[in-house]
Amino acid sequence: MSPGRRNGYLPDYVRRMHLDDIDRVLEIDREAFPTEWPPPNLKHELDNQMAYYIVACRSSERIEEIVKQEGPPDNGFTGLLSRLRMLFGGNKPAAPTEPAVQSDEVITGFAGFWIMVDEAHITSIASRGIYRGQGIGELLLQTVIDMAAERKVRIVTLEVRVSNSVAQNLYTKYGFNKVGMRRGYYTDNREDALIMSTDRINSAEFQKNFTELRQNYRIKWGADRYQLVR
């Protein structure tokens, strides 16, 4: 796959979550965590001064360009088109003359974290299924670390399923270490959770490694996309 096609679904920007985003974010949450119940009360979270939620967004015009470039029907064009319409709230099949999408942007992923004293605790990071493997989770993690550092947070922590080796590898790459275990933490199957934590994120050593990782990210995906839209 060429670099241009590989980074086609990357977000155009990351911004703070708004009330109007809740339904779309809950769709991503249900898709990413189908067995975890109940879903987060995002309205309450947005009112919580300790909580921060961000979303990765893609311009609908850019999505339409990608759809047109996906190739002939035997490459899945029709199915992709239908899925993209669903992401933007379309419930009926597209007529031949209708546009593929009908909104200004699509939310491709989200992340949430709490800041308590000098610790940022990540509560969730997720992306839509059709966008996974496109660097969105890594982009959101970078943005969380940036926001935490700006707020003079000392460390970033999280829990992750013991079976989720993909996520653990990403967190380890960004300086998280395994520091403990929560037995039977997940309510769906009583799976254990690993507790992972960074060292001091404002230390020279951490920031040097973080800068190198961001540079490598730009090289891999072809753009500097971790900036947060205020």
Q: For this structure, is 159 an active site residue? A: yes
Comparing CA positions, the residue from 147, 126, 107 lying closest to residue 17 is: 107
| Secondary structure in 3-state letters for 105-138 | EEEEEEEEEEEECCEEEEEEEEECHHHCCCCHHH
173, 198 Cβ separation under 8 angstroms: no
Q: For this structure, is 174 an active site residue? A: no
Phi-psi region of 135 (alpha: psi -120 to 50; beta: other; left: phi over 0): left
Tokens 């590898």 label which residue?
169
Amino acid in the structure at residue 123? T
Active-site residue (options: 27, 36, 64, 159): 159
Q: Are strands 119-127 and 51-59 parallel, antiparallel or unpaired?
A: unpaired
Comparing CA positions, the residue from 191, 195, 21 lying closest to residue 112 is: 21
Active-site residue (options: 171, 174, 217, 226): 171
Q: In what order do the strands lie in the sheet with 13-16?
A: 177-182, 193-197, 155-161, 119-127, 105-116, 51-59, 13-16, 228-229
Active-site residue list:
159, 171
